[in-house]
Structure 1
Amino acid sequence: MNRFTKTVLFSLGLVVVVGLGVAWAHEDGVLKVTVVAKSTKSWDGEPLPAYPSGQPEITILRIIIPAGEKTPLHTHGVINAGVLLRGELVVHKEEGKSLTLKAGDSLIELVNKPHWGQNDGKVDAEILVFYAGVEGKGITNILDDHAEHDKPAKKE
């Protein structure tokens, strides 16, 4: 072996030994990775659509739904996923299917299907949502703000 090869092998060996020593010395500080969500389907079991063409644009939103409130009926034209950071949230499809989330739960959202979120809990629900969109195109389309549905019936 020439001197260069010996130096490279010694350096690699040193990196491995030092790296393992750091991992052994700091067991509690070792990097831990947990898959929060991974799927080819949205929460209703339907396959996710293909990504749209164009310049990709990632949007990350922190959404707070106050206790006792709900989001408008809406759709998303892009794939998105979220993690409920605190509170509780029930996500509803127009056809009646729903999904209940508690803090720490993940969600792979519906794409191009009307839905809304409802916080029936006593604390605000906070969700962090990641959208895989296309530059210049919206990520949410509001269909109905529920205002008409929530008004008391008129007496005649």
Structure 2
Amino acid sequence: MSQLPPRCSRHVRACLLFSLLGGLVAAPVAADQTTIPGVEVQRLMRSSQSWNGHQLPAYRPQQPEITILRFRIEPGARLPLHLHPVINAGVLLSGELTVESKAGEILHLKAGEALVELVGELHFGYNSGTEPVDLIVFYAGNVEQPIMELAEGAVGHD
């Protein structure tokens, strides 16, 4: 049996637990491949590019702010032409969603699929299925930075 580090001698159980968790944190690449009884981890997406292959921008040095939104989009409903000045990614929980860039690129998503959204590029999305879309989107921006900007002349909601 290997010898425990000196700092572990008093609180062996706590130290072993933190060592295990530290190993998970220290190895983020393998964290979704680690086996822990009763825990299932599935990587839905990992990318440094948006869905059309364009590189994501570097983070800004200001105070970061994470926003998480849940969208429900009725069949046939369409979001206005817009862009995101921040990195964002989503998971489609149910329904079918089509996203189109102003350049004509098209992405069709079905329930359970993830996407890394376009940054700084005009696009719109619409429910292309027969049931409501349930979508969760995570935005990684900065404090007081908008997460979406409507295209000039686009009609949207506040």
TM-score (norm 1): 0.75
After TM superposition, where is structure 1 displaced by more than 4 Å over at least 4 residues in a row? none
Residue in 2 that maps onto 1:89: 97
The Cα of 1:47 is off from its aligned counterpart by 0.5
Q: Aligned match of 2:155 in 134, 145, 155?
A: 145
Distance 1:67 1:29 in 2: 40
Q: How does 1:97-112 map to 2 (within 5 A)?
A: 97-112=105-120
In the alignment, what sits opposite 1:64? 72
Distance 1:81 1:124 in 2: 19
Gaps of 5+ in 2: 1-5, 18-34
Classify the secondary structure of the residue corresponding to 1:36. Answer: coil
Gaps of 5+ in 1: 17-26, 147-156
Aligned to 2:121: 113
Rounded to whole Å, the distance in 1 between the matches of 2:42 and 2:134 is: 21
- Aligned match of 2:50: 42
Q: Based on CA coordinates, which of the two structures has the bigger radius of gyration?
A: 1
How many residues are matched?
130
TM-score, normalization by structure 2: 0.74
Q: Work out the CA distance in 2 between the residues paired with 1:73 and 1:44.
A: 17
In structure 1, the residue corresponding to 2:46 is in which secondary structure? coil
> Whole-Å Cα distance in 1 between the matches of residues 98 and 114 of structure 2?
12
Q: Which has the higher helix share?
A: 1
